[in-house]
Structure formats: C-alpha cells, structure tokens
Amino acid sequence: MMNLDELVAFYENLSAADVERFGTFYAEEASFKDPFNEVRGLAAIKVIFTHMFRQVEAPRFRVEERIAADNGAVLVWTFHFRSRRLAGKGDQVLRGVSHLRFDAAGKVVYHRDYWDAAEELYMKLPAIGCLMRGLRRLLAA
C-alpha cells in the first residue's frame, strides 16, 4: 500500500528539482488528467509539472484533507502561486481534489484532478474574467 504521508509530503514540498522523483511515487504507465491535460506515462506527467514550474512563480500545494482506501485515496488541496499574468494581484489560491488509485506495489497508476477552471482561474484573468463574471450574474438564480 502507498505510504500516503510520504506522497503528501512530496507534494507539499515539491520543487522543480523534485519533478525527477515522480518515479518514486508513480508507476511508469500512470495516467494523469486535469482540466487542461490528459496524459499517460511517467515522462508525460513530469512534463506537466515541469511546465507548471515555468508558468507560475512560487507554486506550492497544501493538502487540507485526505480520504484513504486500500487501493486509492482522495486528497483535498489548495494550490498557492503567483502569476505573471495576474501581476499586482498577489498570491493566488486554487482549490481542488485529486483522486488517486494505486497498483499492487503501492505506486500511483491513476491521478485525476478536479477543480473549477472557470471559478478558480478564468474569473481572475483581466479580459475573460469580466465576461465570466457577467455570465455568472446572468445565470445565477
């Protein structure tokens, strides 16, 4: 079984240099999906996290809650970062959930992130945010 404490510590302390350590926790054939990506294989997962470090400043995850089962887990997290596109807006926070499944060796074989791109990201962007806020007002009960 996966040592969930070690995996959470890996994510909460993740740096650009740590991306090479994903193989410690993820199986070679692992899959990853989030609102922008869907990939299979350890190399492709590393590309996504390397890209994250290029796109945002000071990224860090904080796991707020965890629900564990024999072959999987759900992690409720916040992702803190600074963005060049949101200059002057300070630290940003994105809230989400990761659904993980483990293989017999305890490595992650399935990683699906759920987070609301509209609320957590698009609403904060200068041009599209105005449109999104207008749509939300129009559609709200």
Structure tokens at 127: 């041009």
Owning domain of residue 80: 4-115
Q: Domain holding 16: CATH number?
A: 3.10.450.50
- State yes or no: pLDDT of 27 exceeds 90: yes
State the Cα–Cα distance between residues 31 and 48, nearest whole angstrom.
12
Query: 93 or 7, which is more confident?
Result: 7
Q: How far is CA 61 from the centre of its chain?
A: 8
- Tracing tokens 């997962």 back to the chain, one arrives at 45
State the Cα–Cα distance between residues 76 and 62, nearest whole angstrom.
9
- State yes or no: pLDDT of 31 exceeds 80: yes
pTM (predicted TM-score): 0.82
Look at residue 54 and tell me if it is in a domain. yes
- How many independent structural domains does the chain possess? 1
Strands 108-114, 26-33: pairing kind: parallel
Strand ordering across the sheet containing 56-69: 38-40, 26-33, 108-114, 92-102, 72-83, 56-69
State the Cα–Cα distance between residues 62 and 24, nearest whole angstrom.
20
pLDDT in tens, 69-90: 989 999 999 999 987 766 556 7
Under a CB-based contact definition with an 8 Å cutoff, are residues 88 and 81 in contact? Answer: no
